[in-house]
Amino acid sequence: MNLDAGLQAFSEESRELLQSMEDTLLQLEAKPDDDDLINGLFRAVHTVKGSAGLFGFDRVVEFAHLAESVMGRVRDHQVAVANDLPSLLLESRDHLGLLIEQALDGKPDPDEDSIRTGKALSARLQRHLSDRPAGEAQSRSIPAPTAPVLPARREAGVENRCWHISLRFGTEVLRNGMDPLSFIRYLNTAGEIVNLTTLEAMPDPAEMDAESCYLGFEIDLNSAADKEAIASVFEFVQDDCLIHILPPNSPIASYGELIEALPEENARIGEILRAGGALTESEFGTILAGWEKRLGGAGGEAESMPEPSGDAGIRPGVVEPSIVNAGADKYKKVKEHKEEENQVVRVSAAKLEDLVNLVGELVISGANTNLLARRSGGRRLADATETLAGLVENIRDTALSLRMVEIGTTFNRFRRVVREVSRELGKEIDLVISGGDTGLDKTVADKIGDPLMHLVRNALDHGIETPAERESAGKPLTETLHLNAYHDSGSIVIEICDDGRGLVREKILAKALEKQLIKENQSLTDSEIQRLIFEPGFSTAEQATNLSGRGVGMDVVLRNIAALRGRIDVESTPGEGAKISIRLPLTLAIIDGFLVQVGKSSYVIPLDLVDECVEFSEVASESYQDSQHINLRGEILPYIRLGEVFKCHTPGARDSQSQKVRENIVVTRYAGQKAGLVVDELLGEHQTVIKPLGTIFKNVKGLSGATILGSGEVAMIVDVPGLVSRVSESGCPQRTNPVNLEEVRH
Amino acid sequence: MKITKQKGTSKSTGLCRLQIEGDMTIYQAAEMMEKFVPCWNDYREFELNLSGVGEMDSAGVQLLLMFDRKSEGYDKKVRLLEIREAVSEVLNLYRLGQRFDIQTSPRQ
C-alpha to C-alpha distance for A288 and A301, rounded to whole angstroms? 12
Scanning every residue of chain B, which has its alpha carbon at the shortest distance from the alpha carbon of A180?
A: B58
> What is the tally of structural domains in chain B?
1
Whether B40 maps to a domain, the answer reads yes
Q: How far apart are CA A30 and CA A32, in angstroms?
A: 6
Which H or E element spans position A664? strand A663-670
C-alpha distances out from residue A132 to A78, A140, A154, Å: 7, 12, 9
Q: Are the beta carbons of A273 and A160 closer than 8 angstroms? A: no
Q: How confident is the prediction for chain A on average, in pLDDT?
A: 75
What share of chain B in percent tops pLDDT 70?
92
* Position B70 in a domain: yes
Chain B closest-CA separation from residue A174 CA (Å): 7
Rounded to an integer, the average pLDDT of A209-237 is: 83
Give the CA-trace dihedral at A158, A164, A170, A172, to 10 degrees. 180
pLDDT-derived band at B105 (thresholds 50, 70, 90) equals low
SS in 3 state form for A234-300? Answer: CCCCCCCCEEEEECCCCEHHHHHHHHHHCCCCHHHHHHHHHHCCCCCHHHHHHHHHHHHHHCCCCHH
A650 vs A253, residue with greater confidence? A253
Taking the C-alpha atoms of residue A572 and residue A481, their distance in angstroms, rounded to an integer, is 14
Q: Which of A501, A495, A504 is nearest to A529 (CA)?
A: A504
Which amino acid does the sequence have at A264? E
| Chain B residues within 8 angstroms (CB to CB) of chain A | 26, 29-30, 32-33, 36-37, 40-41, 57-59, 61-63, 65-66, 90, 93-96
Tell me the chain A residues in contact with residue B26 when contact means C-beta distances shorter than 8 Å: 174-175, 179, 211
Query: If pLDDT is split at 50, 70 and 90, which confidence band does B78 have?
Result: confident
- In angstroms, the separation between the Cα of residue B31 and the nearest Cα of chain A is 9
Closest Cα partner for A279 from A303, A305, A246, A326? A246
pLDDT of A660 > 80? The answer is: no
Composition of chain A by helix, strand, coil, percent to 5: 50, 20, 30
B chain contacts of residue A184, beta-carbon cutoff 8 Å: 93-94
Question: From the centroid of its chain, how far is CA A220?
Answer: 40
Q: What are the E-state strand segments in chain B?
A: 2-5, 15-21, 45-52, 77-81, 101-103
User: Is A63's pLDDT higher than 50?
Assistant: yes
The CA distance from A538 to A180, in Å, is 67
Q: Is the pLDDT of residue A655 over 50?
A: no
Task: Identify which of A615, A605, A553 has the alpha carbon closest to the alpha carbon of residue A723.
Answer: A605
Instruction: Confirm if A249 and A280 have CB atoms less than 8 A apart.
Output: no
Contact residues, chain B, for A181 at CB < 8 Å:
57-58, 61, 90, 93-94
pLDDT at position A744 over 50? no
- What is the band of A661 on the pLDDT scale with cuts at 50, 70, 90? low
- Give the nearest chain A residue to B94 (CA atoms): A198
pLDDT tier, A199 (very low <50, low <70, confident <90, very high otherwise): confident
- Confirm whether B73 is domain-assigned: yes
Which residues does A445 contact at the CB level (< 8 Å), separation at least 6? A405, A407, A409, A410
Q: Over range A70-78, report the average pLDDT.
A: 80
Mean pLDDT value across residues A343-347: 74
Q: Sign of dihedral through CA atoms B58, B59, B63, B66?
A: positive
Q: Cβ neighbours of residue A654 under 8 Å, at least 6 residues apart?
A: A660, A661
- The DSSP element (H or E) to which A220 belongs, if any, is strand A215-222
Handedness of CA A314, A315, A320, A326 (dihedral sign): positive
Q: Do A174 and B63 touch (CB under 8 A)?
A: no
Q: What is the pLDDT of residues A24-57, one digit of tens each?
A: 888 887 777 788 888 888 888 888 887 777 777 7
Q: Is A214 in a helix, a strand, or coil?
A: coil
Strand pairing category for A404-406 and A439-441: antiparallel
pLDDT tens digits, residue range A374-397? Answer: 888 888 888 888 898 889 888 888
Residue B24 belongs to domain with CATH number: 3.30.750.24
Query: A188 — alpha (psi -120 to 50), left (phi > 0) or beta?
Result: alpha
Residue range A588-615, pLDDT digits in tens = 667 778 989 888 888 999 887 888 888 8
Reduced to 3 states (helix: H, G, I; strand: E, B; else coil), residue B97 is coil
Confidence of residue B72 (pLDDT cuts 50, 70, 90): low
Partner-chain contact A181 B90, CB within 8 Å: yes
B95/A181 Cβ within 8 A: no
Q: Is A9 exposed, middle or buried (0-12, 13-18, 19+ CB in 10 A)?
A: middle
- What DSSP string describes A505-516? HHHHHHHHHHTT
- Tell me the count of A-B CB pairs closer than 8 A: 62
A180 contacts in B (CB within 8 Å)?
A: 58
The percentage of residues in chain A with a pLDDT greater than 90, rounded to a whole number, is 1
B32 neighbourhood in chain A, CB within 8 Å: 210
* CB–CB contact B66 A202 (8 Å): yes
CA dist A316 and A562 (Å) reads: 67
Strand partners, A708: A714
Q: What is the pLDDT of residue A334?
A: 53
R_g over Cα of chain B: 13
Helix then strand then coil, in percent of chain B rounded to 5, is 35, 30, 40
Residue A232 has pLDDT above 70, yes or no: yes
Written as one string, the DSSP assignment of A684-734 is: EEEEEE-BPPPGGGTT-TTEEEEEE-TTS-EEEEE-HHHHHHHHHHHSSGG
Q: How far apart are CA A268 and CA A265, in angstroms?
A: 5
Q: Where are the beta strands (DSSP E) in A544-642?
A: 567-573, 577-585, 590-598, 601-606, 610-616, 629-632, 635-641
Which pLDDT tens digit goes with each residue over A411-437? Answer: 888 888 888 877 777 777 888 888 888
Please choose, from the candidates A431, A313, A577, the residue with its C-alpha nearest in 3D space to the C-alpha of residue A27.
A431
Q: What is the pLDDT of residues A486-535, one digit of tens each?
A: 987 667 899 998 888 877 777 778 877 877 777 777 777 777 777 777 77
Asked whether residue B108 is assigned to any structural domain, the reply reads: no
pLDDT digits (tens, 9 = 90+) for A125-136: 888 777 544 333
A278-281 CB contacts, 8 Å cutoff, 24+ apart: A278/A158, A278/A160, A278/A162, A278/A164, A278/A195, A278/A218, A278/A220, A279/A158, A279/A160, A279/A252, A279/A255, A280/A149, A280/A158, A280/A159, A280/A160, A281/A146, A281/A307, A281/A308, A281/A310
B60 in a domain, yes or no? yes
Instruction: Find the CB nearest A215 among B26, B58, B63.
Output: B58
Q: Residue A726, Cβ neighbours under 10 Å: how many?
A: 18
Q: Is A540 within 8 Å of A499 (Cβ atoms)?
A: no
Residues from A in contact with B at Cβ < 8 Å: 174-175, 179-181, 184-185, 188, 195-198, 200, 202, 205-206, 208-211, 213-215
φ/ψ of A47, rounded to 5, equals -65, -40
Comparing CA positions, the residue from A204, A531, A690, A498 lying closest to residue B66 is: A204
**Interchain contact, A205 vs B33, CB within 8 Å:** yes
**Nearest to residue A596, comparing CAs of A531, A652, A666?**
A666
Q: What is the mean pLDDT of chain B?
A: 84
Q: Measured between alpha carbons, how far is residue A242 from residues A223, A339, A698 in Å? A: 21, 14, 54
pLDDT computed for residue A671 by the predictor:
64
Question: Does the pLDDT of residue A733 top 70, yes or no?
Answer: no
Q: Which residues of chain B neighbour A237 with C-beta distances below 8 Å?
A: none
- With CA atoms as reference, report the closest residue to A264 among A193, A208, A212, A214: A214
Query: A83-105: per-residue pLDDT in tens?
Result: 778 888 888 888 888 888 888 87
The ipTM value here is 0.89
Answer whether A529's CB lies under 8 Å from A538's CB: no
Structural domain span for residue B28: 2-103
Q: Answer whether residue B52 is part of any domain.
A: yes
pLDDT in the model for residue A495? 92
Q: Do A196 and B65 touch (CB under 8 A)?
A: no
Higher pLDDT among residues A181 and A299, named by residue: A181
Query: Rounded to whole angstroms, what are the CA distances from A190 to A198, A245, A619?
Result: 19, 14, 95
* Element holding B33 (H helix, E strand): helix B26-42
